[in-house]
Amino acid sequence: MAPTHRIARAAYLESLKDFRDFIKVQCAGIPGVTDEILYDVQLAVDEACTNIIKHGYADMDPGSIILEIGLEPDKLILSLTDFGHSFEPDTAAIADMSGGEG
């Protein structure tokens, strides 16, 4: 089983730096994890956490976000957990892709 590292923070935008720093520390020295890959992973987590903060915890007291990183010889496994509103794609409004206004 791959070693797993975990961090939990309050669901605030200010917590994003903690997640980025945690990813950097956990990925340091892993063969094949270039600066570009590290940036891409940090950006993906930033965007997912921002969605959790803005949408998952909308109209709620902010809860927490848990980031887990599993390290395997040939891959990183990242998992985000939150306790906010769930997203139900079947009930989401269909976006107007026509390019028209209004």
Over the stretch 47-91, which tens digit does the pLDDT of each residue have?
Answer: 999 999 999 998 888 899 999 999 887 888 999 999 998 876 777
Read off the pLDDT of residues 23-47 as tens digits, 9 standing for 90 and up. Answer: 999 998 888 889 999 999 999 999 9
Domain parsing of the chain, residue ranges: 4-84
Whether the full predicted model's pTM is greater than 0.75, yes or no, is yes
CATH of 4-84, one of 3.40.50.300, 3.30.565.10, 3.40.50.2300, 3.40.50.10710: 3.30.565.10
Distance between CA atoms of 42 and 88, rounded to whole angstroms? 26
| CA distance linking residue 76 with residue 92, whole number of Å | 31
